[in-house]
Amino acid sequence: MYSALGILPISLVLLAAGTFVVSYVIAVVRGDVTAAFPYISDTGAKIPESSVFGQFLNMAAFISFCTMYIRYKLVAAISTGEDRWLTRMNRFTMLVGIVSSLGCSMVANFQEGTEVEAVHITGAFLVFVGGVIYAFLQTGISYHMYPDYNGLRICRIRLVVCLTSLSCLIITIASAGVALYQWNQVPHTKTKLKWDDGDPGFTAHIVSTIGEWLTAFTFLSFFFTYVREFQKFQLSITTRPLVRHLDEEPYLDQEPDERTRLLA
């Protein structure tokens, strides 16, 4: 009997991808962005698409944290603390995952084109760069756990996803720098949300935006590799009273148990 935990990473991917697509469609229909590959954040820069973008991306940030937390608990449970390197790397990787989830929330709440755009850019850096680093760290953990705890095929799949995401991320950042430099060489009166063929840096801009979409979707696909593993674990919340009367001081000491407690 498989556990229902496998639904969580699937929900994360579908929710995040659906958010990007829906906000893109609304922004294009309203004429707020051009249909030719705007940046993901551009599709959520104006109302009403910004409300959809922010609301559902916040939900995705929370689910991503939960997914990364369960992966952390999974590794901790199956290794039972016998491998000190694995224990430390598992905790560090979880910390990187928290930073990436925080970046996703910052992107959702501090949107592009506002007075706090610097915070938005910082959040985008955390979610993309932090996310790719998280994926590489988890891949390293998977290789370290082979052959005692997992097979080699899942390690290779995760490595391919990581290398693809990293390549797309490098292309995105490099092309964005070129596009921005060429754009700033000529005075403009229109917004950067709408790039037209013939604008300085247009080709580099398109390469950058395509790279960003590919980075996002390849990184999201990394969580699909968790599905089968999550199905083989159960996570429960246990409530143990430490007193017999709520006016008493706690007197029962319980040792943490990675196999049962949620907040160990």
- Average predicted confidence (pLDDT) for the chain: 89
Percent of the chain with pLDDT over 70: 91
Mean pLDDT of 101-122: 86
Torsion of CA 173, 174, 179, 181, to 10 degrees: 110
Give the H/E segment covering residue 22.
Answer: helix 7-30
Q: How far is CA 135 from CA 4, 92, 93, in A?
A: 23, 12, 9
153 is a domain residue = yes
Residue 35: per-residue pLDDT = 85
249 is a domain residue = no
246 is a domain residue = no
201 is a domain residue = yes
Mind listing the pLDDT tens digit for each residue in 186-245?
A: 776 566 667 777 778 889 999 999 999 999 999 999 999 999 999 999 888 888 888 888
Burial 162-190 (b: 16+ CB within 10 A, else e): bebbbebbebbbebbeebeebbeeeeeee
Prediction pTM value: 0.88
| Residue 190 lies in domain | 4-230
95, amino acid identity: L
**Banded pLDDT at 114 (limits 50, 70, 90):** low
247 is a domain residue = no
8 Å CB contact between 89 and 115 = no
Name the residue with higher pLDDT: 238 or 264.
238
Q: How far is CA 219 from CA 159, 180, 215, in A?
A: 11, 25, 6
Number of domains forming the structure of the chain: 1
Tokens at 264, concatenated: 């160990």
102 is a domain residue = yes
Mind listing the pLDDT tens digit for each residue in 57-109?
A: 999 999 999 999 999 999 999 988 778 999 999 999 999 999 999 999 999 99
Going by C-alpha positions, the residue among 165, 187, 212 that lies closest to residue 20 is 212
210 is a domain residue = yes
245 is a domain residue = no
